[in-house]
């Protein structure tokens, strides 16, 4: 099965209305050659989720959110539901990012409920997993990540509604990345765990690498076995660096 590469940008808590110029520049650079090779996605903050889908409409570049609540609506001040995200015209939602796990105490079981909500609303969930530096140093990285996968992913997941992002916490925003061998080992272990649980369906689930992906290292990382794309933070804020990363697929 061939998996379409996905280069996803996570803007985190960055971006004002004026940042639409970066989105427009990305769309302009997302020509037919690049479209044929890779899918592009930008996940802006919720304030821009209302306007970005219309800007990107017809461009092939997808828009996504960074979190959702498990419930479709209700008394949950400050939260946004998967249905609201879909209604805004977005197609994806990042779930269980390590910053949400750390800042908001999100657990695997909550992430799983959110992933179920995303599927209910017709969104593709990008479920994030990744070990801390102490866990890697203790030789527990594979065990931690495979455990997070088991707890965070709903039953019946398919390549049409789930993407997994492996993001070692110590590599996020630090300029450090795991060795090529460590990325291949982790992605192979995730694929094996998905195969065990979902059978042949696992072949369609894209596995992204995230953590200090830059134009300088994208060419190496994106060609590794079982790496089906990237989840990019800092380097996704500017069109020049985001597009340079995606061009690793040309
Ligand atoms: P980074 O962030 O690319 O800035 O390291 C990645 C992420 O947190 O998704």
- State percent of the chain over pLDDT 70: 100
Is residue 7 situated within a structural domain? no
Q: What are phi and psi of 120, to 5 degrees?
A: -55, -35
pLDDT at 110: 98
pLDDT at 45: 98
Is residue 37 situated within a structural domain? yes
Is residue 85 situated within a structural domain? yes
Is residue 35 situated within a structural domain? yes
Tokens describing residue 139: 């030789």
Is residue 166 situated within a structural domain? yes
Range(s) of the domain holding residue 98: 15-249
For position 224, which CATH number holds? 3.20.20.70
- pLDDT digits 0-9 by tens, 217-249: 999 999 999 999 999 999 999 999 999 999 999
Identify which of 67, 93, 213 to mutate to test ligand 1's pocket (most ligand atoms within 8 A of the CB): 213
Average of per-residue pLDDT values in the chain: 98
DSSP-derived letter for residue 225 is T
pLDDT at 235: 98
Is residue 95 situated within a structural domain? yes
Is residue 103 situated within a structural domain? yes
CA 250–ligand 1 middle distance (angstroms)? 23
- Whether 22 sits among the annotated catalytic residues: the reply is no
Residue 130 predicted with pLDDT over 90 = yes
CA 174–ligand 1 middle distance (angstroms)? 9
| E strands present in 44-103 | 62-65, 92-95
Q: What are all long-range contacts of 61-64, with beta carbons under 8 Å and residues at least 24 apart?
A: 61/23, 61/26, 61/27, 61/30, 62/90, 62/91, 62/92, 63/89, 63/90, 63/91, 63/92, 64/8, 64/90, 64/91, 64/92, 64/93, 64/94, 64/123, 64/124, 64/126
Task: Give ligand 1 pocket residues (Cβ under 6 A).
Answer: 10, 167, 172-173, 210-213, 231-235
Confidence band (pLDDT; 50, 70, 90) for 135? very high
Cβ-contact 247, 3 below 8 angstroms: no
H or E, element range at 208:
strand 206-210
Is residue 53 situated within a structural domain? yes
pLDDT at 1: 63
Tokens describing residue 152: 């965070």
Give the separation between CA 27 and CA 40, rounded to whole angstroms: 9
**How many folded domains does the chain comprise?**
1
pLDDT at 149: 98
Over residues 128-133, mean pLDDT: 98
Secondary-structure percent of the chain, ordered helix, strand, coil, rounded to 5: 50, 15, 35
- pLDDT digits 0-9 by tens, 15-71: 999 999 999 999 999 999 999 999 999 999 999 999 999 999 999 999 999 999 999
pLDDT at 2: 84
């Amino acid at each position: 099965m061939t998996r379409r590469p996905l280069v996803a940008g996570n803007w985190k808590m960055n971006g004002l209305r004026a940042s639409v110029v970066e989105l427009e520049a990305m769309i302009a650079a997302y020509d037919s050659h690049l479209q044929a090779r890779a899918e592009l996605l930008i996940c802006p903050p919720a304030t821009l989720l209302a306007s970005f889908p219309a800007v990107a409409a017809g461009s092939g570049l997808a828009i996504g959110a960074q979190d959702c609540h498990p419930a479709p609506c209700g008394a949950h001040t400050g939260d946004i539901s998967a249905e609201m995200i879909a209604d805004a015209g977005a197609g994806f939602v990042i779930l269980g990012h390590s910053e949400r796990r750390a800042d908001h105490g999100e657990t695997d079981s909550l992430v799983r409920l959110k992933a179920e909500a995303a599927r209910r609303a017709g969104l593709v969930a990008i479920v994030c997993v990744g070990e801390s530096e102490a866990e890697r140093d203790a030789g527990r990285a594979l065990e931690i990540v495979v455990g997070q996968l088991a707890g965070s992913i709903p039953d019946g997941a398919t390549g049409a509604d789930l993407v997994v992002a492996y993001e070692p916490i110590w590599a996020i925003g630090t300029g450090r990345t795991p060795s090529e061998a460590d990325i291949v080992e982790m992605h192979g272990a995730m694929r094996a765990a998905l195969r065990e649980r979902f059978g042949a369906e696992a072949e369609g689930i894209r596995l992204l690498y995230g953590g200090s992906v830059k134009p300088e290292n994208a060419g190496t990382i994106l060609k590794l076995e079982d790496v089906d794309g990237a989840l990019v933070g800092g380097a996704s804020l500017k069109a020049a660096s985001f597009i340079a990363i995606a061009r690793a697929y040309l």
